Amino acid sequence: MQGHAEDYRSPGSGANAAIGVLLSHGFTGSPKSMRPLAEHLAADGYGVAVPRLPGHGTSWQEMNKTGWPDWYAVLDNELERLRKEHDQVFLAGLSMGGCLVLRLAEEHGTDISGLVLINPSVRTDDKRMVLLPVLSRLMPSFPGISNDIKKPGMDEGAYDRMPLRALQSLSQLWQTTREDLAKVTQPVLMFRSTVDHVVEPSSGRTVLASISSRDVTETLLEDSYHVATLDNDAPRIFADSTAFIRRVAADA
């Protein structure tokens, strides 16, 4: 396993221990991208969990042996544990992690109190994707985009290759999640970077246009690229996420 790719958990303490937060990293990434947000929430006393998704934090070859049901199952199991240990559970996801937590929200309804989405991916405008079912059988990987971070010296611990079989599975997750977005009724806080070299603006627009949530806030990040949790706007994400969880939990 790569350094800093391990799971991160904190049980919670004090008045906020009644609230758990499940955080999901993105495609080819690792818990490293979500750990600063998780540590911020843990410092406020919230119970947090950032599991490493199967095939991540090891090698892209390993990831090609996994698919979205594997990634989802890990989060689903973690959610079940958090629900037993906390009165309320919130979800937070970056990129593909945003799609996975949207899927959890679709499936689990009122068991989930709210969602924090950071540059969530639910689609792509890349025309090459129509060739993916064929390409993924002919070649194992493409050069990937990792470390799309404006702040110098930051590393999310992602692969530099894009595993194509896993990417094919991700496209199936996108479609499955998009079809059920109207089932999302929970309060949503979405952060979207105005410059993102990985996820196109159409993803965020699709989410906002399709969910049924009444309590929705979109915050544009002007000084960060895709991995905003490790970028210049990270302090704002941390502060706003904490305020959102506190407000929604109190309303409940």
Q: 3.40.50.1820, 2.40.110.20, 3.30.360.10, 1.10.3760.10: which CATH number matches 8-251?
A: 3.40.50.1820
Radius of gyration of the chain (CA): 17
pLDDT tens-digit series, residues 14-40 = 999 999 999 999 999 999 999 999 999
For the whole prediction, is pTM greater than 0.95? yes
C-alpha span between 224 and 234 (Å, rounded): 8
β-pair partners for 48: 10, 21
pLDDT at 133: 84
pLDDT tens-digit series, residues 213-249 = 999 999 999 999 999 999 999 999 999 999 999 999 9
Binding site, by residue number, is: 27, 96
- The residues carrying an active-site annotation are 95, 196, 226
Binding site for substrate, by residue number, is: 27, 96
pLDDT tens-digit series, residues 98-147 = 999 999 999 999 999 999 999 999 999 988 888 888 888 889 998 888 89
